A and B are shown apart, each in its own frame.
Chain A
């Protein structure tokens, strides 16, 4: 089973700053099968990025995804107040879905 590791665990930033979140896989992951989600307290997760770099419908262009193989990155170019949340990466392979442990982006 592929294990996903996310870093850092918590990212303390201010609005307007750039956020760079990392997701590392224990084995190579097809880029087609790598996604990122945002979750706010008390809410369901929301799809942000699929196929490692494609934005989901309605997602602002300040969110971008990149990477391949075992290293993937979610970048938020300029943090807006509504972006402070927990972010999860997720992969699919061999009929199994796995999530990373999450990165919390909070206010500095």
Chain B
């Protein structure tokens, strides 16, 4: 059974940093790209970042480029999202998702909330 378990969310001040983690199990981790998708309160889904199975390729939404860094540790079956220079508009639930080869998200974690406040 595929499981994705996010952690690391919380309350942080504007301009601060936070690192999210997503522990994966139930599939061959290195075979699949992984992604982060967020959802601001009462809003829709927004893709944030993705990383290839090997970790050799990463992509970011324009809204977070230069501030967020995605990485993965394939020895620990874990993907990370380092978030720096946080803004109020980064407040959201952050979901970790497994990416199928044709670009859809077939499994999702339960989400971890991030609140950025002054």
User: Which A residues lie at the B interface, using CB under 8 A?
Assistant: 32-33, 35, 37, 39, 44-47, 50-51, 56, 88, 90-93, 95-102
Contact = CB atoms under 8 A, between A and B. Distances in A.
Contact of A98 (B35, B47, B59): B47
The dominant DSSP class at the B interface is strand
Given A33-B102, A50-B100, A96-B59, A45 B47 contact: no
Contacts of A97: 35, 37, 47, 50, 103
Contacts of B59: 95-96
A45 B103 contact: no
The dominant DSSP class at the A interface is strand
Contacts of B45: 37, 39, 45, 88, 90, 99, 102
Counting contact residues on chain B (CB < 8 A from A), the size range is 20 to 34
A50 B35 contact: no
Given A44-B95, A50-B100, A99 B106 contact: no
Contact of B104 (A35, A96, A98): A35
A102 B109 CA distance: 20
